[in-house]
Amino acid sequence: MSSESSTLVHDWPGRYHHIDQVLNTPGPRTDPGFLAGDGVKDFLRNKAKILVIGAGGLGCEILANLALTGFKDIHVIDMDTIDISNLNRQFLFRQKDVGKPKATVAAQFIMNRVPGVKVTPYFGKIQDKDDDYYLQFDLVICGLDSVEARRWMNATLVNLVDPEKPDSLKPMIDGGTEGFKGQARVILPTITSCYECSLDMLNKPTAFPICTIANTPRLPEHCIEWASVLEWPRVHGDKKMDTDDPDHIGWLYKVAAARAAEFKIEGVTWSLTQGVVKNIIPAIASTNAIIAGTDGVYSYTFEHEKRDDCPVCGGEAVDMTINSDTTVEQLIEILIEKQDIQIKKPSLSTSTKQIYLQAPPQLEQATRPNLEKKVSELVPPGGEITVTASTLPFSLSLRISYEA
């Protein structure tokens, strides 16, 4: 249906009749004594300030649901622009919007359709905002397609909590979809398990050992990773790769195809190149709608357990036993592969020495010789290694022990 032929949702006396039936009636997953009452309804519709992170397939559904439910003050953050491939499921956008910021277009669309709702967009990264910005909201809802962004947001909200200031606790509702599968959960920072506590439940990320992609590629994916991880920084220096730029993808495809031909590997295509570097996840509009409504078909509900060694909300060091002959490079590959850690480019240090730093280039070059050294030569039994990554706002402490 075109925007010209659609009908506006007018503010009339019975507008929230169906929503009130939900709010006034205890459900199977709520406290039996729960009744929202006029005070709660007034807060939700006139005072609550909501932040939505992500204006993609899930974010579009969330924004529409919030506006039609009666929330009046909504903010939305998204760093992406609209691509023509989004239009089949991100229903707040039209062909004329291609190339424009998702947050800006989504906000204007909602305000045009739902009277009385103010949607404030921000076209940029969540990392651009400081603590004071996030403290102004009553609720944060994430419709992200990035594990790194979820981890950053989760850690930020946990760090905001001040036991002396109850209002500093900002609940986070997180949702995600992949094809016909999806999940939604509520995180109360420092009270329930946080996102980091349950990393081991995620699908194992695809990671290729550096030595394989550098020396003995066997798969087309190895050639694409070689082009993006090794060749791009070698040729372009500090210039950041933009995975949404067709010229950048084209360069990677050309370089990866040449390497594949050199090793007689078939299967490097433009679409595979784009899929590898962007980690594209299949999206289906119906799944987005179900998860955005926090409802489910054949659903299963359970409570995640808090981890004492969670680097965000736990505080205890993670015990790790490795072979006494394990090198620093091998330890890095173990960390990349480890399901409950999942750090793509870890830097390692102790309280007294830098073991290996991914950046800046000068320090990477200076610490590179350590990659071939045994960890046992650098860290005594029971010693702790601090693991950091530029994409995460926290550090992980590893307590190392050795086996023969």
CA distance 149 to 281: 15
Contact criterion met (CB below 8 Å) for 53 and 153 = yes
Percent of the chain whose pLDDT exceeds 70: 87
Beta strands across the sheet bearing 347-349? 318-323, 396-403, 384-388, 347-349, 354-356
Residues 174-199: what's their mean pLDDT? 85
Percent of the chain whose pLDDT exceeds 90: 50
CA 344 to chain centre: 13
The closest alpha carbon to 59, from 47, 74, 41, belongs to 74
Residues 368-372: what's their mean pLDDT? 93
User: pLDDT-derived band of residue 39, with 50, 70 and 90 as boundaries?
Assistant: confident
Mean pLDDT is lowest, of 69-78, 379-388, 389-398, for: 389-398
CA distance 156 to 325: 37
211 belongs to the catalytic site: yes
Residues 116-120: what's their mean pLDDT? 95
Q: CA–CA distance from 245 to each of 195, 220, 230, 232, 236 (Å)?
A: 31, 21, 19, 14, 15
CA distance 397 to 404: 23
Structure tokens at 250: 């084209």
Spell 327-340 as b/e; 16+ CB within 10 A means b: bbbbbbbebbebee
Average per-residue pLDDT for the chain: 85
**pLDDT at residue 9 above 70?**
no
Among 142, 194, 197, 211, the active-site one is: 211
**pLDDT at residue 201 above 80?**
no
Contacts of 243 (CB under 8 A, 6+ apart): 249, 274, 277, 278
CB atoms within 10 A of CB 177: 26
Structure tokens at 83: 């691509």
Q: Using a cut of 0.85, tell me whether the model's pTM lies above it.
A: no
CA distance 325 to 369: 16
Contacts of 372 (CB under 8 A, 6+ apart): 327, 328, 329
The closest alpha carbon to 68, from 103, 18, 106, belongs to 18
Per-residue pLDDT tens over the stretch 157-177: 999 999 999 999 999 999 887
CB atoms within 10 A of CB 16: 18
